Amino acid sequence: MYVAVKGGEQAIANAHRWMADRRRGDRHQPELQTEQIRDQLGLAVDRVMAEASLMDVELAALALKQASGDLTEAVFLLRAYRTTLPRLADSVPLKTEAMHVERRISAAFKDVPGGQVLGPTYDYTHRLLDFMLLAEGEIPDPERAQAGLEACPQILDSLDAEGLIEKELDDGTEPYDITRDPPDFPVDRATRLQMLARGDEGYLLALGYSTQRGYGRNHPFAGEIRQGTVEVEIEVEGFDAPLCIGEVMISECQMINQFGGSREKSPQFTRGYGLAFGRNERKTMAMALIDRSLRAEELGEPVQGPAQQAEFVLAHADNVEASGFVSHLKLPHYVDFQSELELLRRLRREHDLREPSEQERPV
């Protein structure tokens, strides 16, 4: 019995010690270094950082190590650490158009200014297990271009110039901060995007997918997907221009979707937007689909699919909240269960008194 027994404290300590042993595994194998996780399991590190809303490759790698590779557990560890950090400054909005691009593609145009840059990707690999990796084969260095990339303007800006796509203007309002204030449904788009950006990738993927299968279809084209580093800047008193405090790797996706418009307003393409820390292309694509589907009401579209229902989508996107509440079912609930037992026995007694049992009933 794991409850109603004295010594719960010792049991917990022993369980944690056993888990630590399991995590370490066979002592004859060298211990996994966080540097190895950071460098060789980079996409896992990136996903943990994105869903924890904390950019720190070192600590994300540590969280993954400590969690035995359980991504959700690692996200939770990093999130719980993040919440203890003091807030020193707010950055000015990232200039993704000034990104040092390592990958940038558009599915909407054959070629684009700055070029289609495939960059590091698993796309177009044949998903055949590479047994050379089992044998620790040497990996050749990548080919490097002689010249740096040209400037890569945002592709949607070219449509913008023609007025073919809705404009997105910064109205200067202070964005709501979901890490400090509780969501107040209905929430605005900036808040929705914050919630989606830290949302669980698997969840966003499933919901984004559902829009493609007709549950709130919005005719997407991958206008531009880019990945690379951008400068983070803060405003400091006494300086005219913002100061750069470092660079972060991010992924951005802009979907072009079918028209909005009305009798007064000429038809225009609409947008869906996705952004995440690190190399999180799949997540940003799903996020852009959902961002657009959550705009249904704003754009006068019927709300039919689950991915169009903002409160439903957003209230269940956070995997730290979700895994906590699902896993809390492991906690003892015997008091409430006893209540149910008591009622059920009573109902059955009363039922039996009212009606003869099945066997006694004449056929």
Partner 1 sequence: MTLRVDDQGGLAYSGYNFAYLDEQTKRMIRRALLKAVAIPGYQVPFGGREMPMPYGWGTGGMQLTASILGADDVLKVIDQGADDTTNAVSIRTFFERVAGVETTTSTAAASVIQTRHRIPELPLSRHQILVFQVPIPEPLRFIEPSEEETRVMHALEEYGVMHVKLYEDIARHGHIATTYAYPVKVDERYVMDPSPIPKFDNPKLDMNEALMLFGAGREKRLYAIPPYTQVKSLDFEDHPFEIQSWDEACALCGASDSYLDEVITDDQGGRMFVCSDTDYCQQCRGEVA
Binding interface with partner 1 (CB under 8 A): 2-9, 11-13, 16-17, 20, 76, 79-80, 82-86, 180-186, 311-312, 315, 320-321, 323-328, 331-336, 338-343, 346-347, 350
Name which of 168 and 340 has its Cβ closer to partner 1.
340
User: How many Å is the maximal CA-CA distance in the chain?
Assistant: 94
- Least spacing, CB of residue 336 vs partner 1, in Å: 4
33 or 121: whose CB is closer to partner 1? 33
Nearest distance from residue 288's CB to partner 1, in Å? Answer: 25
Q: Are 288 and 273 in contact (CB under 8 A)?
A: yes
* Residue/partner pairs of 335-338 with CB below 8 Å, 24 or more apart: none
Both tokens of residue 327? 């896993």
Closest approach of partner 1 to the CB of residue 326, in Å = 8
Q: Is residue 299 helix, strand or coil?
A: coil
Cβ nearer to partner 1, comparing 2 with 209 = 2
Which contacts qualify for 108-111: CB closer than 8 Å, 24 or more apart?
108/155, 108/221, 108/222, 108/223, 108/224, 108/256, 109/155
Looking at the Cβ atoms of 40 and 338, the one nearer to partner 1 is 338
Closest-CA residue to 61 (of 31, 84, 40, 79): 40
Q: How many CB atoms lie within 10 A of CB 251?
A: 25
* Smaller CB separation from partner 1, 6 or 167: 6
d(CA 71, CA 320): 11
CA 281 – CA 274 distance, rounded (Å) = 9
Going by C-alpha positions, the residue among 55, 40, 123 that lies closest to residue 278 is 55
- Give least dist CB 84 to partner 1, A: 7
CB of 182 to partner 1, least distance (A): 4
Least Cβ distance, residue 330 to partner 1 (angstroms): 9
Minimal distance, residue 188 CB to partner 1, in Å: 14
> With respect to partner 1, which residue has the nearer C-beta, 79 or 104?
79
Matching residue, tokens 């991010």: 250
Nearer to partner 1, 106 or 308 (CB): 308
